[in-house]
């Protein structure tokens, strides 16, 4: 309610009636001295939200509202004093792309925030699991963390928290070095191809991270039972505030479609024997797509599945398979006479959508592995286990496609993969508290009665309940609800 200017995307129509599509404008909406809105505008607040209520969201309605020509953000295109449109881009669709590209930084910021949110959520749930005892043999109650089901519910998210953090650290470094060079006017090889690849990477990774963190927060809440449902556990607020990220800065379902466009272009190039434009090297392997598609599952021991070779090979097979499926589906819809827009809409479910998710998981894995090799030797064993768990726990979601596409037949793939996941959970049990201690913020920032680093769960809960204002007082209106003795006279 104190906003004086807004950055607005709107259609740019020049005096000759031509619509040049969406452009960015800087629009004054309130007088900075009085905070009154300007005539021609209806500006108001949209009211309370599920979370993020520290930031207001407003609406604006425009009625014949005029702004100066100079308020067009004109880095990619401008309008002269004579009303003539000028752009350094020849393809109109590229102009919008160039303007929207600035959103990548915001999306990377969301991913960094998401890494903090999942770290907090798993820290609370793992510390609770290690200290909360329930059931057991006879009178010996055991900690929740001893139960395989509880490990399986949580440890995959701990692994995701670590893999995502190292992925985003590594990727941010790559991204910023390109931005810095470009802003400094230095030459960046294949800049426009790199920008496209980064856009494709961000457009599927933001959905993968924000959705995974959302389900992590939910699973962590449930794993803390009724205590997790207390506001003082902080899992509800972590979840509600995080939830907005799956929608803003590009709704996940819509944004990830961008990645599919780029991947299909690269696949098309590879199929036609052309070059794959992948300066960041994320899909160079598509040049050999037929060889990758020929891969078959041949493991006989769980240790083989835990290896980086198995996990990366299987992901490459999956990406090639889903690219082929998506491509064929799209082309078959075009052949039926559908427009490109319609054909794309009919290729999302089970195809395009799964493809972009798979590619995002693959990105997390390869960027993590690159960082892993540079870490201290002493950290590598636990990080390797977390990597294997994340990889197999994620591949578990793609078993149908692995069977459907003939990567494997029979029972051994699903059985071995799932046995490996449970073995890794068991192997990580002793280390997982240390892992979340490394990820978690301070107790003050974590702000959870269940997740304090001292491990004194029961005392901390008692203290929180006892110090709650009015915890032991009668309600002020207590006299209204008791049936007081009345005079018999």
Residue 474 binds a second copy (CB under 8 A): yes
Q: Based on CB atoms, which residue is closest to a second copy, 444 or 478? A: 478
> Which position among 152, 181, 265, 447 is part of the footprint of a second copy (CB under 8 A)?
152
Q: Is the distance from CB of 85 to CB of 23 less than 8 angstroms?
A: no
Q: Is the distance from CB of 228 to CB of 312 less than 8 angstroms?
A: no
Q: How far is the CB of 379 from a second copy (least distance, A)?
A: 28
CA 225: distance to chain centroid?
Answer: 25
User: Candidates 49-57, 115-123, 162-170, 186-194 — which segment interacts with a second copy by CB under 8 A?
Assistant: 49-57
Q: Is the distance from CB of 192 to CB of 146 less than 8 angstroms?
A: no
Site for a second copy in 180-239 (CB under 8 A): 221-222, 225-226, 228-232, 235-236
Cα angle: 455, vertex 458, 464; to 5 degrees: 105
Site for a second copy in 84-123 (CB under 8 A): none
Task: Catalytic residue, from 48, 86, 148, 249: name it.
Answer: 249
Strands 41-45 and 58-62: antiparallel
96 token code pair: 């919008």
Nearest to 322 by CA among 397, 262, 264: 264
Provide φ and ψ at 130, rounded to 5°. -80, -20
User: Candidates 51-59, 115-123, 291-299, 432-440 — which segment interacts with a second copy by CB under 8 A?
Assistant: 51-59
Q: Based on CB atoms, which residue is closest to a second copy, 68 or 476? A: 476
Site for a second copy in 326-345 (CB under 8 A): 339, 341-342, 345
Residue 375 CA to residue 371 CA, distance in Å, equals: 7
Q: Based on CB atoms, which residue is closest to a second copy, 380 or 462? A: 462
Binding mask 13-42 for a second copy (x = CB under 8 A): -------------------xxxxx-----x
Residue 2 binds a second copy (CB under 8 A): yes
> Which position among 147, 284, 293, 366 is part of the footprint of a second copy (CB under 8 A)?
147
Instruction: List C-alpha distances in Å: 174 to 146, 167, 177, 179, 209.
Output: 40, 11, 5, 9, 18
Site for a second copy in 415-454 (CB under 8 A): 415, 418, 422
Q: How far is the CB of 92 from a second copy (least distance, A)?
A: 13
Q: Based on CB atoms, which residue is closest to a second copy, 51 or 92? A: 51
> Which position among 409, 434, 438, 445 is part of the footprint of a second copy (CB under 8 A)?
409
Q: How far is the CB of 279 from a second copy (least distance, A)?
A: 30
Nearest to 391 by CA among 420, 430, 415: 420
Residue 6 pairs in a beta bridge with 27
205 token code pair: 């990774």
Burial label, 430 (beta-carbon count in 10 A; 0-12, 13-18, 19+): exposed
User: Candidates 103-111, 118-126, 185-193, 473-481 — which segment interacts with a second copy by CB under 8 A?
Assistant: 473-481
124 token code pair: 């609370």
* 249 noted as active-site residue: yes
Q: Which residues are catalytic?
A: 249
């Amino acid at each position: 309610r104190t906003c004086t200017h807004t950055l607005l995307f709107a259609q740019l129509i020049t005096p000759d009636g031509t619509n040049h599509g969406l452009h960015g404008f800087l629009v004054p909406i309130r007088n900075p001295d009085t905070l009154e809105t300007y005539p021609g505008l209806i500006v108001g607040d949209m009211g309370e939200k599920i979370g993020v209520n520290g930031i207001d969201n407003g609406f604006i309605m425009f009625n014949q509202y005029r702004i100066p020509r100079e308020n067009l953000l004109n880095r990619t295109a401008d309008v002269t004093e004579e009303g003539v449109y000028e752009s350094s881009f020849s393809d109109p669709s590229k102009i919008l792309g160039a303007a929207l590209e600035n959103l990548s930084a915001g999306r990377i910021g969301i991913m960094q925030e998401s890494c903090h949110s999942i770290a907090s959520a798993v820290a609370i749930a793992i510390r609770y699991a290690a200290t909360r005892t329930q059931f057991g043999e006879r009178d010996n109650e055991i900690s929740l963390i001893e139960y395989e089901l509880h490990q399986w519910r949580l440890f995959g998210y701990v692994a995701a928290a670590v893999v995502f953090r190292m992925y985003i650290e590594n990727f941010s470094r790559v991204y910023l070095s390109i931005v810095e060079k470009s802003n400094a006017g230095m030459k960046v090889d294949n800049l426009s191809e790199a920008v496209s690849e980064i856009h494709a990477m961000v457009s599927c990774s933001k959905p993968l991270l924000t959705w995974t963190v959302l389900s992590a927060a939910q699973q962590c809440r449930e794993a803390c039972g009724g205590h997790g449902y207390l506001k003082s556990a902080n899992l509800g607020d972590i979840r509600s505030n995080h939830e907005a990220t799956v929608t803003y800065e590009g709704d996940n379902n819509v944004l990830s479609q961008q990645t599919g466009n780029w991947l299909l272009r690269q696949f098309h190039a590879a199929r036609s024997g052309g070059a794959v434009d992948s300066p960041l090297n994320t899909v160079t392997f598509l040049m050999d797509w037929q060889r990758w598609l020929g891969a078959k599952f041949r493991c006989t021991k769980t240790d083989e599945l835990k290896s980086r070779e198995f996990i990366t090979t299987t992901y490459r097979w999956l990406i090639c398979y889903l690219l082929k499926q998506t491509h064929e589906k799209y082309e078959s819809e075009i052949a039926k006479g559908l427009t490109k827009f319609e054909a794309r809409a009919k290729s999302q479910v089970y195809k395009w959508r799964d493809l972009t998710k798979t590619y995002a998981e693959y990105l997390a894995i390869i960027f993590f592995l690159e960082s892993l090799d540079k870490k201290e030797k002493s950290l590598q064993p636990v990080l390797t286990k977390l990597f294997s768990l994340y990889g197999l726990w994620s591949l578990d979601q793609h078993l149908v496609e692995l069977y459907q596409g003939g990567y494997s037949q029979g029972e051994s793939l699903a059985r071995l993969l799932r046995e490996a996941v449970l073995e890794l959970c068991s192997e990580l049990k002793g280390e997982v508290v240390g892992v979340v201690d490394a990820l978690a913020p301070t107790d003050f920032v974590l702000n959870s009665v269940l997740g304090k680093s001292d491990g004194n769960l029961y005392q901390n809960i008692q203290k929180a309940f006892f110090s709650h204002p009015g915890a032991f007082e009668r309600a002020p209106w207590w006299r209204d609800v008791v049936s007081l003795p009345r005079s018999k006279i």
